[in-house]
Amino acid sequence: MTSAVNSEPDVVLIGAGIMSATLGTFLKELEPSLTISTFETLEDCGLESSEAWNNAGTGHAANCEMNYTPQRADGSVDISRALEVNVEFDLSRQFWSHLVGKGAIADPRAFIHPCPHMSFVHDAANIGFLRKRFDAMSAHHCYEGMEYTEDRNKLGEWTPLVVEGRSADEPVAATRIISGTDVDYGALTRLLVSHLAAQPGCQVHYKNRVIDLVREEEKGRWLVKVQDLDSGEVHAVKAKFVFIGAGGGALPLLQKSGIPEGKGYGGFPVSGIWLRCDDPEISKRHHAKVYGKAAVGSPPMSVPHLDTRIIGGQRSLLFGPYAGFSSKFLKHGSLLDLFESVRPANIKPLLSVARDNFDLTEYLVGQLLQSESHRLATLDEYFPNADPKDWKLQVAGQRVQIIKPDVKRGGLLEFGTELVGASDQSLVALLGASPGASTAAFIAIEVLEKCFAGQLTASGWLPKLKQIIPSYGVSLIKDAELTRQIRARTAEVLKIDNATSPSATSAVRSRVDA
C-alpha cells in the first residue's frame, strides 16, 4: 500500500493504465472534491497495454490505417469510420494540451513527437484502392494536407528504406500526412498517474488485486474486495462509482460484478510479436509510420507497419506485429484466463464466433507456425534491404477482442472498444482494444456522459469540461474552421506538426490531377 486505504472513496479505478489515468484526471479536474482510489495488480502504472513496447505508439487518427476505410461493393471508399476516429484523437490532443497549459505536464516531448503517417501499397489492385481512398479523404477538411504519390523518387524522399532495393518495375503508391504523431503511452500514463496521485483525496495502490465486486443494493454502492499481494490481506472498500479499466482483466471483473448488462460477453485474446531495430544509423533514415494492407482474415491490430518509435529519448524502428494466440488475457496474466472466463451465458456467443470466424483462426494458426525466415520475408515487403542481424524479437502486449451476444447470429466478434455499464450508472467496464489509448479522452467523455449526465449541466461540470475540451458539443467532422483552429492550437502546445492549410491540399491535389 502506498498509504492507508480510504475505505469509502467516491470513485474506484481498477487498473492503472492510460484509461483509468485519463478518466481519473478528468473527474478530478471537473470535481476537485472527489476522492479517488486506484488499484493496480502490478508494481507500477502503465505496464500492460499502455507500456511503450506493448503497442505501436501510433497516435491513431485514422490517417494511415486502411482497415478504417473499407471499399464498398460499388468500388467507392467509405471514410465514415475514419472520420470518427480522426476527430476522437482531436479530443485527446485538446485534453493533453490543457494539462500542458496548466503545468500538469511540464514538457509534451516527454510523451509525444511529430511523425508522418503513411499508407503504402505495392500492387496494381491496391494502388487503385489507395488512389480512391486518397480522393475521398483529401476532399474532407479533416484530411487537409494529405499527399499522394506513385512516384518512386518522391516516395524515396519520404521514406528511403521502403524504396531502396525494390525492383524497378514494381508499382508503388503511398499517402502521407506529416501531422501524424508517435506517442509513448507508458510515459503519458506515468505523467497522468503522478499528477493524479499528488491531488488531495487521491490514492494509488500498487500490487493490490481486486478480487471481487459486490453491489450493495440498499445504499447503491459497490463493495470492492482488494487483496494486498505482499501481505495477502484482503481489504473491503465501498465506492459510489467503479470504473473497470483493467485492459484484458476487465472482462473477468465485469463478470464478477454480476450486472445483467454484462451477461453473455466473452473475450478472444490475441498475442503479438514485433521485430525491433535499435541501430541509430538505420533508424535515422526512416521517419514515418508506414502502414500496409491487412492480410485476409487478420485482426485490425495485425496490420503490418514499419514504425519510427521514440521511447526514453531513444529512436528505434518497429515492424510487425506478427499475431498469435495465447489463452492469457494479460501479458502478465494466466494461461487459464480464457477458460476461466467461460460462463453458461457466453458459451453460445463463443461458439458462434468460432463458427463464423474460421478465416481468423486459420490466420492466427499460420502466424504461430511462422519461422524467423517467414517473419523476415514479411519485413522485406516494407524494407527490402533489411539485414536480419539488425533486428530482434520484442514481445507485444496482449489484446482481448470483444465477443458480444447477438440475437440473430448468437455472437459477434468486435475489434473496437465498448463500454458496458450498470443501468444505475454506478459501474462501467471498458472492453476491447484498438484504437483504445489514442482515443482515451473520447472514452473518458463517454463515461462522463453515460454515468455522470446529471453533473454535465450549465451549473455543474459543463463549463469546466468546455475549458478542457473547447470543441465539446460541436462536430469537428462538420465544422471545418473550428477543426483548423483546434489543430493549430494543440499542435503549437504539444510541439507537433500542423499541416492543415487548405492551400496545402489544393497544391497536392493539383499535382495528382496533373
Pull the grid cell for residue 505. 491540399
Q: In total, how many domains does the chain have?
A: 1
Query: Residue 400: inside a domain, yes or no?
Result: yes
* Torsion 246-248-249-251 (CA) sign: positive
Q: How far is CA 170 from CA 165, 166, 167, 286, 381, in A?
A: 11, 7, 5, 21, 11
Report yes or no: 219 and 426 within 8 Å, Cβ to Cβ.
no
Query: Residue 115: inside a domain, yes or no?
Result: no
Query: Residue 370: inside a domain, yes or no?
Result: yes
Cis peptide before 321 (omega within 30 of 0): yes
* Torsion 60-62-64-68 (CA) sign: positive
Q: At what angle do helices 440-451 and 80-101 cross, to 10 degrees?
A: 90
Q: What is the number of residues in the chain? A: 514
- Whose cell is 506515468? That residue is 190
Residue 290 forms beta bridges with which residues? 118, 306
Q: What is the DSSP letter of 294?
A: P
Report yes or no: 321 and 396 within 8 Å, Cβ to Cβ.
yes
Query: Residue 182: inside a domain, yes or no?
Result: no
CA–chain centroid gap for 238, Å, is 30
- What share of residues in the chain are helix, strand, coil (percent, to 5)? 40, 25, 35
Distance, CA of 297 to CA of 323 (rounded, Å) = 12
Burial of 118 (0-12, 13-18, 19+ CB in 10 A): buried
Query: Residue 477: inside a domain, yes or no?
Result: no
Q: What is the DSSP letter of 441?
A: H
The model carries a pTM of 0.91
Give the phi and the psi of residue 195 in degrees, each rounded to 5.
-65, -45
Task: Give the DSSP H/E element, type plus range, for residue 281.
Answer: helix 280-283
Report yes or no: 94 and 470 within 8 Å, Cβ to Cβ.
yes
Distance, CA of 421 to CA of 426 (rounded, Å) = 8
- Name the amino acid, one letter, at 428: V
Query: Residue 356: inside a domain, yes or no?
Result: yes
Query: Residue 402: inside a domain, yes or no?
Result: yes
Domain that holds residue 314: 265-417
Three-state SS at 354: helix
Query: Residue 485: inside a domain, yes or no?
Result: no
Predicted local distance difference test score (pLDDT) of residue 412 = 86
Predicted local distance difference test score (pLDDT) of residue 176 = 98
Q: What is the DSSP letter of 71?
A: B
Predicted local distance difference test score (pLDDT) of residue 511 = 31
State the 10-residue block means of pLDDT for the chain, 514 residues long.
78 96 98 98 94 88 93 95 96 98 97 97 93 98 97 96 95 97 96 97 97 86 96 95 92 94 90 91 96 70 86 94 80 86 87 77 62 77 94 87 87 86 95 82 97 97 98 98 97 86 38 33
